[in-house]
């Protein structure tokens, strides 16, 4: 009955497991930063990398580039500003918009942490070879769920092929 017991744990268990995997990844990365005596929040990386590589950007541009919501960017932006890593300037083209850019301190930290991130890349490649191609799996999953959402799939499984909301 091991198979049946396993079948009892579907996406609900997957979700929890993925969360904890991510949590562990963040913790381990956090330990590396702590070893270097650096205060760094994981969520900062996406914003900093984008600003460093692409130049100043608005909250909306960052949200689009990172694939997260504006409020999330806004909160990260605030955290980064408090830490002195970015600065904001009003955009003369649109009074509502703010251009965010790395501060000198932010640039220095970005450079300092580049070797850490390079090492993380090496580890990702290593794990891909050792275990599974996580990035490819994510790409495939993203594509599959973009095609047909999890919601639709569940509703179809519940209601049958012709039932339920269209």
Partner DNA sequence: TGTATTTACATAGGCGCCTAACTAATATCA
Partner DNA sequence: TGATATTAGTTAGGCGCCTATGTAAATACA
**65 C-beta neighbours (distance < 10 Å), count:** 16
Select the residue interacting with DNA from 9, 10, 11, 23 (CB under 7 A).
Answer: 23
Select the residue interacting with DNA from 10, 11, 28, 94 (CB under 7 A).
Answer: 94
**43: contact with DNA by CB under 7 A:** yes
CA–CA–CA angle 140, 142, 148 (5° rounding): 100
**97: contact with DNA by CB under 7 A:** yes
Question: What's the rounded Cα separation, in Å, for the pair 50 and 62?
Answer: 8
Comparing CB distances to DNA, the nearer of 26 and 159 is 26
For the CA atoms of 134, 137, 142, 144, the dihedral, rounded to the nearest 10 degrees, stands at -170
Question: What's the rounded Cα separation, in Å, for the pair 59 and 76?
Answer: 10
Comparing CB distances to DNA, the nearer of 9 and 78 is 78
Contact 154, 163 (CB under 8 A): no
**Nearest-approach distance from CB 42 to a copy of itself, in angstroms:** 6
Here the tokens at position 47 are 């914003």
Contact 85, 105 (CB under 8 A): yes
**19: contact with DNA by CB under 7 A:** yes
**9: contact with DNA by CB under 7 A:** no
Comparing CB distances to a copy of itself, the nearer of 104 and 142 is 142
Residues within window 53-82 making contact with DNA, judged by CB under 7 A:
58-61, 68-79
- Residues interacting with DNA, by CB under 7 A? 16, 19-20, 23, 26-27, 41-44, 46, 58-61, 68-79, 88, 91, 94-98
């Amino acid at each position: 009955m091991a198979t049946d017991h396993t079948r009892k744990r579907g996406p609900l268990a997957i979700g929890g497991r993925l969360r904890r995997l991510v949590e562990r990844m963040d913790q381990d990365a956090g330990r590396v930063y702590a070893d270097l005596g650096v205060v760094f929040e994981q969520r900062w990386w996406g914003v900093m990398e984008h600003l460093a590589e692409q130049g100043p950007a608005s909250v909306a541009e960052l949200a689009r580039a990172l694939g997260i919501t504006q409020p999330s960017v806004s909160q990260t932006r605030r955290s980064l500003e408090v830490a002195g890593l970015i600065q904001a300037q009003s955009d003369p083209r649109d009074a509502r918009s703010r251009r965010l850019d790395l501060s000198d301190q932010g640039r220095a930290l970005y450079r300092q942490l580049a070797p850490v991130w390079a090492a993380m890349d090496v580890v990702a490649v290593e794990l891909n070879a050792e275990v599974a191609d996580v990035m490819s799996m994510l790409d495939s999953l993203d594509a599959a769920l973009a095609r047909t959402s999890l919601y639709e799939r569940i509703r179809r499984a519940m209601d049958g092929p012709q039932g339920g909301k269209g």
